[in-house]
């Protein structure tokens, strides 16, 4: 099954919690703090594999969660860091942030990868909080939460040559004749409901990747038929073979219609180099009208190639001309300034909002600090209070009129305000 779109939920691993612990050894009655740090949570990485050409692997699995780091241990031992979670995708995969609509990455090269969600750092153990004033701190941190994201994967096939044309022009038959691909072929429109890829051997040293793009009809740029689903795949092909049905009522009109649909969907598609081939030349009716078709196309400055995908007539000529045209066509290039996704754009920004039950504080730094606090530990709570003061939240709450006993909601935590 060919699948070219998928929506995924991804989450990196939480850091392991730091530990509160003191040395307890014989003859050392007052051992110092030796609680270790937690391990780092696993990153989520998306990486390209050239062996894939579909997003089918995401048909049954759409949730990817990396492992959490291991908590720290006594004797200053750091917990194990979690392994990274690597998600494999085919070349030509576009990644978009569903919430913001921002393009995160466009992965086209073999082994290209992007760190999409960074794992949380491990919380610090109490040994890290010892100082000259407090040599026995009972303070540690929970691990930093992981990052989570909803993303859309969209595959745009990367091929050297794309075969386009109206439904039932013989595109699948031509692909099968030129390559080792085995697409479904039948005598009715829209036989091909998914793109097919094949590799054609030009000579001992070179080959072409050829894509059979399902038939386009009038209105395809508006999504009519299967327009949207397949026009995007043409964007990644370097050269087009425009296949005309020699038996069609008006092949010249079909030619103009398809090119119009290409330009309406994406003006750059109309600029792609095209070879025009007239198919079904093995049939007497097509042979009889060949001169008229050739003459009409030459008036447009086009020299068509007469072929038969069934009898394989003139296919070598079509293949060699495609290879020649490819040599003069630049390789597909990704926009060099594609945005790189960063989950934390302004970490210290926060918002205070009145809610029916009290006050809600939203902000990356303060929510992360709350998640990393051991609320059952008095020293940890005092440290969180100092963070509120350092960020200016304490003063802002007083300015908006918070009162003794009011509830304050930060992330998943509910706190009570005391002056």
Residues with pLDDT less than 50, the chain: 1, 185-192, 217-228, 334-344
Sign of CA dihedral 49, 52, 55, 56: negative
Dist. CA 80–CA 157, nearest whole Å? 40
Residues 278 and 403 in one domain: no
Taking only Cα atoms into account, the Rg of the chain, rounded to an integer number of angstroms, comes to: 31
Dist. CA 162–CA 323, nearest whole Å? 12
Residues 127 and 188 in one domain: no
Per-residue pLDDT reduced to its tens digit, 193-248: 567 777 788 887 778 888 887 756 444 434 444 444 567 777 778 899 999 999 98
Q: Is position 194 within any domain?
A: yes
Q: Is position 386 within any domain?
A: yes
Instruction: Domain count for the chain, please give it.
Output: 3
Per-residue pLDDT reduced to its tens digit, 108-130: 888 889 999 999 999 999 999 98
Residues 263 and 300 in one domain: yes
Residues 313 and 173 in one domain: yes
Residues 143 and 197 in one domain: no
Q: Which domain holds residue 55?
A: 1-156
Residues 115 and 189 in one domain: no
Position 159 scores a pLDDT of: 78
Q: What is the pTM of this model?
A: 0.68
For residue 146, give the CATH number of its domain. Answer: 2.70.210.12
Q: Is position 302 within any domain?
A: yes
Position 246 scores a pLDDT of: 92
Collapsed DSSP state (helix, strand, coil) of residue 380: helix
Dist. CA 331–CA 400, nearest whole Å? 59
Q: Is position 344 within any domain?
A: no
Position 189 scores a pLDDT of: 44
For residue 390, give the CATH number of its domain. Answer: 3.30.300.350
Residues 57 and 130 in one domain: yes
Residues 23 and 116 in one domain: yes
For residue 304, give the CATH number of its domain. Answer: 3.40.50.300
Q: Is position 16 within any domain?
A: yes
Tokens of 102: 């921002």
Position 103 scores a pLDDT of: 87
Position 200 scores a pLDDT of: 84
Residues 130 and 249 in one domain: no
């Amino acid at each position: 099954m060919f699948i070219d779109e998928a929506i995924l939920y991804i989450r990196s691993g939480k850091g392991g919690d730091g530990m509160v612990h003191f040395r307890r050894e014989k003859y050392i009655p007052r051992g110092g703090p030796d609680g270790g740090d937690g391990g780092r949570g696993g990153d989520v990485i998306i990486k390209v594999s050239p062996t894939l050409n579909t997003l089918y692997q995401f048909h049954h699995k759409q949730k990817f969660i990396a492992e959490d780091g291991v908590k720290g241990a006594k004797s200053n031992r750091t917990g194990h860091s979690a392994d990274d979670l690597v998600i494999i995708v085919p070349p030509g995969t576009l990644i978009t942030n569903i919430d913001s609509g921002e393009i995160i990455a466009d992965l086209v090269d073999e082994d290209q990868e992007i760190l999409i969600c960074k794992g949380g750092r491990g919380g610090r153990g109490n040994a890290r909080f010892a100082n000259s004033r407090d040599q026995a701190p009972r303070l540690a941190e929970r691990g930093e939460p992981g990052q989570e994201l909803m993303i859309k994967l969209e595959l745009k096939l990367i091929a050297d040559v794309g075969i386009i044309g109206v439904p039932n022009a013989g595109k699948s038959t031509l692909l099968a004749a030129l390559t080792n691909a085995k697409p479904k072929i039948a005598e009715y429109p829209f036989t091909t409901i998914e793109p097919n890829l094949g590799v054609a051997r030009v000579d001992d040293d070179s080959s072409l990747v050829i894509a059979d793009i399902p038939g386009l009809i009038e209105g395809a740029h508006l999504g009519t038929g299967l327009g949207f689903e397949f026009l995007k795949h043409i964007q990644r092909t370097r050269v087009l073979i425009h296949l005309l049905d020699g038996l069609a009522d008006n092949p010249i009109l079909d030619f103009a219609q398809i090119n119009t649909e290409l330009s309406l969907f994406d003006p750059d598609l109309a600029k792609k180099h095209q070879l025009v081939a007239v198919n079904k030349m093995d049939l007497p009716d097509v042979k009889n009208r060949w001169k008229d078709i050739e003459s009409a196309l030459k008036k447009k400055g086009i020299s068509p190639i007469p072929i038969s995908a069934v009898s394989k007539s003139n296919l070598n000529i079509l293949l060699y001309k495609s290879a020649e045209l490819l040599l003069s066509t630049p390789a597909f290039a990704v926009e060099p300034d594609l945005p790189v996704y960063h989950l934390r754009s302004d970490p210290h920004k926060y918002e205070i909002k009145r809610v029916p039950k009290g006050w809600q504080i939203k902000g990356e730094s303060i929510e992360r600090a709350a998640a990393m606090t051991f609320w059952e530990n008095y020293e940890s709570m005092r440290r969180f209070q100092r963070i509120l003061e350092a960020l200016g939240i304490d003063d802002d709450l007083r300015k908006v009129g918070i009162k003794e006993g009011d509830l304050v909601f930060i992330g998943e935590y509910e706190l009570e305000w005391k002056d």
